[in-house]
Structure 1
Amino acid sequence: MALLLVGLTLFIGVHSVRLFAPEWRLFMMEQLGKSNWKMLHAAVAFIGLLTTIMGYGYARYSAEWLWFPPVWTRHVAALLILFAFIYIAAAAMPYSKIKARVGVPMVVGIKLWALAHLISNGTSADVVLFGSILVWAVFNFVISRRRLKAQGEQFEAPNYKYDVIALGVGLCAYALVAFYLHELLIGVAPFTV
């Protein structure tokens, strides 16, 4: 569990600098240069992600069961994750109405992903991993929305073309992950009986 906590601290920590220490972030960008700061940020995030994955992999085998989720939670999780993929795809669309509506669709997608995994898994390792990411995403959403509102930033959304693209990309990514990559990378097939 210690390795999982270290990984989460690195990964969530580096992604929280912009939220909780924006002045320090700007100072560091001035000191290091923008490209060096981005490389440092990416390196810490990558190390944190790998450490989190490894830590969760180890922690899963020794984790205590806190509850045994009923089967229906897997169905709810599957639906939430479908929407998560659509929101994440919408974050990459420049003129998505979804983006115009929620402001930070990537964070909404992460919240849905974490919530889905939290309700459908019941070990202490699951609570640490998915609960931490969910709490971070909730704070991120509130702070980011507040910041966008204070800056008066709005996203133009001329038509639904980009939402249709986000829907298509989200559905394809969901199918690829759910029916192939999840089992290959995580060792769990989401749609097995």
Structure 2
Amino acid sequence: MEKLVLGLVIFLGGHLALRLTGLREKVEAKIGKMPFKGLFALVALVGFVLLIMGYAAYRPTAHDLYTAPSWGKYANYLLTLVSIILFLASYMAGKIKATLVHPQLAGVKAWALGHLLANGDAASVILFGSFLAWAIVTRILYGKATRENVAWNRRDEGAIAFGILVWVAIGYKLHPILFGASAF
């Protein structure tokens, strides 16, 4: 469990610390924007690897905190699909991005909630509950955002189409490799 918590502190804490402290601007001013991005990506990657390793090690022995509802896995299928579409839409200037302003955070919330509905063990609650709480707090910290009036366009359709393909690839191929179990 220690690796899981350490990974969460490094990954989520690092993201949150940049938002709260203004550290990003200070470090960028000293070393430059691209070196900062590289350094931060490395730190985030270390945290991400630790949390995956910690989750994989802790989950087999983690006690159930609640019994997931029978429909939880189906809700997870839908919410993870939505999360991938939202994540991709954050890189495409379409109606989805303009409406949500921070679609990646909305995607993290959907992903985390879906997994909490499908898994009631302590390891899952710690991992996905932490991501859900982080995404909620981060969205609040961003404050009220200005929404642009953008029409639905091909970028939105691309995010949906590509999102479905990525969702299938993750569910059938990557999830078993990374986590030892098919998502479907």
Find the aligned partners of 1:165 and 1:155 in 2 and give their Cα distance.
19
Q: Is the 8 A contact 1:104 1:145 kept in 2?
A: no
Structure 2: distance between partners of 1:163 and 1:80: 18
Please provide the CA RMSD for this pair.
Answer: 1.5
For structure 1, the residue ranges without an aligned partner over 5 or more in a row are none
Residue 70, structure 1, aligned to residue 72, structure 2: no
Contact 2:89/2:96 (8 A) holds in 1: yes
Q: What's 1:38 paired with?
A: 37
Equivalent residue for 1:17? 17
What is the distance in 1 between the residues matched to 2:149 and 2:19? 24
- Partner Cα separation in structure 2 for residue 25 and residue 74 of structure 1: 38
SS in 1 for 2:50: helix
> Which letter maps to 2:21?
A
Q: In the alignment, does 2:101 pair up with 1:108? A: no
- What does 1:139-178 correspond to in 2, within 5 Å? 139-146=137-144, 148-149=145-146, 154-155=147-148, 157-178=150-171
Aligned to 1:60: 59
CA contact (8 A) 2:176 2:182 kept: yes
Partner in structure 1 of residue 175 of structure 2: 182
**CA apart distance, 1:35:** 2.3
Identity %: 34
Matched, 1:79 2:78: yes
In the TM superposition, residue 16 of structure 1 has moved relative to its aligned partner by 1.4
SS at match of 1:165: helix
Deviations 1:118-172 (A, max 9, x none): 11101111111000000001112222243x44xxxx5563542111011101111
Query: Do the aligned partners of 1:103 and 1:145 also contact (CA within 8 Å) in 2?
Result: no
- The TM-score normalised by the length of structure 2 is 0.93
Supply the distance in 1 between the matched residues of 2:114 and 2:72 (Cα, whole angstroms): 8
- Residues 3 and 53 in structure 2, CA contact (< 8 A), matched pair in contact too: yes
Counterpart Cα distance in 1 of 2:10 and 2:29? 22
How many residue pairs match? The answer is: 184
